[in-house]
Amino acid sequence: MKFINKYPDKRYVITPTTTVEVAGRPITKPGKSVQFSNGELDTNDKEAITHLKNHIDFGVSMFADEPRKDAETKKDTE
C-alpha cells in the first residue's frame, strides 16, 4: 500500500526501542519504524499499515494512495 505525506521525510514509530533486563544485564530490544522518502511510503507490512491508518495524522497530513471505488465500478459497467 502506498502512503503520501505532506512532510517529505516524516518518520513514524510503530514500536519503540526498549531496554529489557535478561539475567541481570540490560539488553536493547530494537523497535520498528517507517520512514517516508520524498513524501511517499510503499509498504506491505500489515502492522505498519494498521498503525498508519489509525494515526491521528491520517486524513490530515498523511493519505493512502488507493484507487477510487467509483472508478472501479465504471470499469465494470463498461
C-alpha cell at 59: 486524513
**Residues whose CB falls within 8 Å of the CB of residue 4, separated by 6 or more in sequence, listed in order:** 39, 40, 62, 63, 64, 65
Tell whether 75 is covered by a domain: no
If one counts the domains in the chain, the total is 1
Q: What pLDDT sits at residue 68?
A: 72
- What DSSP character marks residue 73? H
Kindly report the pTM of this predicted structure.
0.74
Q: What pLDDT sits at residue 77?
A: 56
pLDDT in tens, the chain (78 residues): 999 999 999 999 999 999 999 999 999 999 999 999 999 999 999 999 999 999 999 999 999 987 777 655 555 555
Q: What pLDDT sits at residue 65?
A: 87
CA 70 to chain centroid, in Å, comes to 25
Tell whether 76 is covered by a domain: no
Whether 38 and 8 have beta carbons less than 8 Å apart is answered as yes
Q: What pLDDT sits at residue 67?
A: 72
Q: Write out the residue range of the structural domain in which residue 54 sits.
A: 2-67
